[in-house]
Structure formats: C-alpha cells, structure tokens
Copies of this chain bind each other. A is one copy, B any other.
Amino acid sequence: MSDLRDRVRGPLAPSTAAQRPLSIDDVEIHGGPFGRWQRINREASIPLGLQQMEKSGATPNLRLAAGEGEGTFQGYRFQDSDLYKQLEAVAWEHCRRPDGDDAAAYRAFVAESAALLARAQRPDGYLNSHYQVVKPDKIFAELEHSHEMYCAGHLFQAAVATARAGLGDGLLEVARRFADLLVRRFLTGGDDGIDGHAEVETALVELYRLTGERTYLELACKLIDNRGRGLIARTGLGPLYAQDHLPVREAPTAVGHAVRQLYLEAGVVDVAVETGDADLLASSVRRWEDLVATKTAITGGHGSRHDGEAFGERYELPPDRSYNESCAAIAAIHWNWRLLLATGSGRYADLIERTLHNAFAASTSADGVRFFYVNPLQRRADLFEDAYLGRRREWFACACCPPNIMRLVSSLGHYVATTDDEGVSVHQYAPGVIRAGGITLDVETEYPWDGSVRLTVRSAPGGAWTLRMRVPAWSGSARLTPGWGEPYPAVPGADGYAAIRREWRAGDTVTLDLDLTPRLVVPHRGIDALRGCAAVERGPIVYCFEQIDQDSPLEDLALLPGAGLRPVERDLPGIGRTVIVEADAVRLPPAPPQGLPYTTVSDAAPATGPATAVAVPYYQWDNRDGGVMRVWMPLAQPSRR
C-alpha cells in the first residue's frame, strides 16, 4: 500500500491538485435537499438496491461463475457492474455513518460479496460472470461491446471505496488481481485493445492512487492514447458512438454515447493530473467549454438523443426527446469535480451545482424507491409512443442508473468543500459541519430555498488563512456580512469565489447572501428546439410547470417576456417542502384542430386573457399524477396562433 492510501476517504484522491478534496466523514450534512436525499438513500434506496442484487441476477450470475449456483445467466453482459456500484454506495454510506444501524449489515454485504467475487474470479484474475458463464470463448475478443473493462472499472472503484471506508481489503485483492491481468495483457503484453465503454481509465488511476502501483496509471494512459486509432471494430453504431473517431487530444467536441464520453473525460483528467500532461488536460477543458456552450441542457443534463443515447449535434437540445440519462449527470459531476480540483475554477462547481439540483436530483422520486433512466424536459399529453417516459420506475432491465445514483448520494459530502495551502473553499451550500485540517466550520442555511449562508468558524489554527465561498454565476448580486463589520458586495474573483483572508478566530462568522430573485431565462438562438420559449430558475433550481398546478390546460399557457415571478413557500403532498414560483402568463387562443398544422402568418391569432402559471422545482416533478410537464414555456408573442 502506498502512503496515498489514507489521505482521503472518498472517491477521489489526486496526488496533486489545485484544490484538495476532503473525506466524506469530514463533512456532515444536517438538512436541506442534500440531507433529505442522504436520509432517503439510506432508508429506502439502498435497501431496495440490496434486494435487487439477488432479484436482478447480479449475485446469482456470480454464483454461476463460481460454479455454485443453478440456472442461467440473467440480464446484460454488464450485470456485474450493478453489484459493484451497489458495493460502492454501501461503502461511502458506511464511511459517512460508520456507527449507523446498518453498519453490521453493510460489513456483511461487503464481506460476502468480496468472498463471492473471489470464488468467481478465475485463477488468472479474470472476472466477468457473463463471459465466464455464457461466452468463455469470447473473453477479450469483442471489446467494442463486451463491457469487460467497464465492469472491471466499477470493480476497482468499489474496491477503492471499501478500502478507504475501512471495510477490509477483500475486494481490493480481487480488484488488484484483475487489474494485474489487464496490465499483463493490455500494457506489458502488447495488446492494443480498448473497451467500447470507457470507465476503467478513471478507475485504474484511482486504484493507482490507492495502491501506488504505477502500472495501473500507465495502463490508463495507454487506453486513452489508443482511442481514435480505429481499434474498435466498426459496430452498427460506428466509431463516434464510442469516441474512437479521433485521438482524444484532437477531438474538438463530445460525441456519441454520452455516458461513455463523460466517463472517458474523467479518466482523461485523472491521467493528465497524475502525469502532469497539460496538453491532455487542455483538450478536456476545450471539450468542456464546447459541451457546456452547445450541448448541455438547462438542468445540466447531457445526451439529446434516444438514438444511440448520444449527445447529438451542437445546439441540438430538444426538450421532449432529450435523453439526459441519469448516469450522464453522474458522470458529468465526476468530470467536473476532477476539473475543479485540477484548476480551482468555480465554473466547474457551478455546473456541479446545476447538475446536482436538477438533472441528477430529478432521477429519484421523493420517496427514494423509483428512478428515471431518461430525464426529458417535457412530457406531452395523450402519449402513445412515449407512454413509458416521464414516469419513474422501481428498477430497470438495464439498471445502470439506480446504484449509480446511490453511490453519488452517499458520497455527497465529498463534493461540498476543499482545502489548499491557503485555506478552505466552500463549493456547495448545505447546512452542516466542514472539517479541513485544523479548521472546523459550521454552515447554517436554508439553501436553496433561502439565499443566506452563515458560516461560523468553530476552530481554527493560528495565523491567516483564506475562506473562499463560491458566488454562483446565476447570482445577480451577492453580499457578505462579516460578524466583525459592515455588509459589503461579494464580488467574486475570476475563479468565481469571494475570498476573505484573515486570522480567523473561533466564533467568527460571515454570512453570504445570494440573490434568489427568480429569473426568466431564454435559450441561445442556436437552439432551434427552444426558440420562442423561456424557463424559470431560482437560485440553483430550474423550474418546471406540471399540469396539476395549473387552472388551464398547460398547453394553452404562455409566459410574458416581462413576466412577474413570485416565489411562494409550500409544503406539497407527495413532494414536501418546496418553493413554487407563480408566473404571469396569458392564455393562448384555441388552435384549429383540423387540416395541416401550418398556416400563413396573417391567419395567426393573438393571445387572449391574463393567467397565472405555477412552477415547481424540476427535480420534484412526477411525484404526483405524472401528467403534462414543461420546463420550457412558450413566450407570448404577437402573430402567433
């Protein structure tokens, strides 16, 4: 074991970084949405996931591979990865509350799983129940769609998590045996294969960070450099689908299967950081800038197409058919977190916040036992082809998302704050406690419902240090009120943070007041699918309009360009605490139902009477009747029928 091992108890522990991550158990979250999600995750989601490990075939498949079970292989070739993500979720949950009621059960689940995996693993280190049971003659022979290294990556992440969480090294031993096999075959053995689904790259780097075994890093480097050489056989979905169309350093834009690209980017940043490869890092940053400017939904969601679960072209961002896979939101958070640590720039924390509170948060029902795989921004009336969309489900045949959601929620504390040689940076606002070295901060806030965040220094080392507080780009104005002086404008630096450097003493307080005035937001004119529409945001929350809250058919309502937006606190059945926004609107005139849906401009009728449209946070949708929903509302215009 290297000495890197114990630095951080959390998913990411880079050996060098502009901002250093904290351990999950160094951050307590006491309430707010994050606190609620963590409670529901522990009480409802994780127990459901643990049940599903047996029911969905994940553990039975591994018993087959171990020569123990009866029956046939169930599910997809990447079914093992569900178990790995579930193990990781349990590990971080244990790390967060090691003395919780479930500690013994978690320990047993990890130990039993590690033992099963060790029995299923071949003597050479290979481990994949699908290939061992169903296609032993095809091992490593169809990498373009086999997901063998993808599953290995999730195994490595689970192993890192259980080791860092103090749940024993059983899983780590299994992981290292498999990683060593991959090194023998794909690094020193000269095989140039790459997996059609990126994931193992980031996982190998973390396994290197944990163990100090440099060949894992070297293999990750090689796998990244091998992309774009046409090594993946042309599948029906083509080389773009798996980011094999161009070398990573040259690829100007995110393409193909969104989750593949985003996991790949996490690995790219990891490799760049560990090898000091500034060019490689710069290529990822270029794609980030392009992606955010042209292919990112307002919720932070990624992937505009059902077809290939793909990004689509620049500015192709349809609200109805957007895919926005829950796993893509998670993968994007992984990537942004790595960029934030590497650069210290708040724009990545801004996007993490947007993604967490919207694209990601929407993936789970308020009660934690139903999930979205696809997260559209619109649900129409009278659905036929899309009847299955827009309603969460308990589980999926392809269940990549639910355990992925669970592992992120249980590790949420990891993403709240960081430290560096100058002091502490707070990136995400939630009530609780932050411990960074000798510094302890209390955070009191009703965020995101209220914009006031009060930080109290509970303990501090001697000497001056800097407290950096992110001022989100959406906050039109912000104010800082120190306990020792007058309020003043919180003007962020180029990095997006307001900083106070002083010799802090225990008891010092500073309050950051962010501007939560609701905002009417319009899309870039390049986004054809959203032309003539506006959305409502308040703080980090993107809103949506559900039919259940309206007096008129939602499809007959339009907002006004200068619409008044009034936030109102509510406790809604099925949703709980929330802030709705009432928006000034108009009722559109009836649209003729017959004939071709195209008419000359002169036939268009103007809007009619005033109305009020009611918006709820997007992430809270589909917790009531599951009817019509829109994030993007038409803006009333003259000459529109």
Contacts and interface: CB of A to CB of B under 8 A. Distances in A.
A600 B321 contact: no
Contact of A597 (B307, B524, B593, B597): B524
Given A529-B528, A529-B529, A600 B522 contact: yes
Contacts of A312: 321, 385-386
A294 B637 contact: no
Stoichiometry, as copies per complex, reads 2
A308 B591 CA distance: 29
A2 interface: no
A320 B528 CA distance: 9
Contacts of A151: none
A321 B320 contact: no
A72 to B, nearest CB: 19
B598 A524 contact: yes
Given A314-B382, A385-B240, A525 B641 contact: yes
A524 B597 CA distance: 5
Interface string A525-558: 1111101111100000000000000000001000
Given A384-B240, A385-B313, A561-B639, A597 B320 contact: no
Contacts of A1: none
A310 interface: yes
Interface string A69-92: 000000000000000000000000
Nearest to A594: B293
Contact of A591 (B292, B526, B604, B632): B526
A599 interface: yes
Which of A319, A354, A521 gathers most chain B CB within 10 Å? A521
B637 A596 contact: no
A105 interface: no
A562 to B, nearest CB: 7
Interface string A327-344: 000000000000000000
Name the interface size band of chain A. Answer: 35 or more
Interface string A295-317: 01010000001111011111111
Nearest to A292: B596
Interface in A627-641: 632, 634, 637-641
Given A596-B293, A600-B521, A601-B561, A531 B314 contact: no
Nearest to A519: B600
B522 A594 contact: no
Interface in A96-138: none
A173 to B, nearest CB: 39
A255 interface: yes
B380 A525 contact: no
Nearest to A603: B522
Contact of A313 (B253, B311, B384): B384
Contact of A601 (B311, B380, B522): B522
A296 B596 CA distance: 7
Contacts of A640: 522, 525, 531-532
Interface string A456-469: 00000000000000
Given A307-B306, A307-B307, A591 B318 contact: no
A383 to B, nearest CB: 6
Contact of A522 (B382, B526, B527, B604): B604
Nearest to A323: B307
Given A293-B593, A593-B293, A637-B532, A599 B313 contact: no
B293 A597 contact: yes
Interface string A252-283: 01011000000000000000000000000000
A417 interface: no
Given A316-B380, A385-B312, A601 B528 contact: no
A531 B634 contact: yes
Contacts of A639: 522, 561
A313 B307 contact: no
Nearest to A378: B528
Nearest to A592: B524
A377 to B, nearest CB: 10
B597 A527 contact: yes
A43 interface: no
A334 B122 CA distance: 61
A626 interface: no
A525 B596 CA distance: 12
A634 B256 contact: no
A520 interface: yes
9 contacts: A292-B596, A298-B596, A305-B307, A313-B383, A522-B599, A524-B598, A525-B634, A531-B533, A561-B639
Closest 8 pairs between A and B when the two form their complex, measured CB to CB: A532-B532, A524-B597, A531-B532, A306-B307, A307-B307, A520-B601, A521-B598, A255-B384
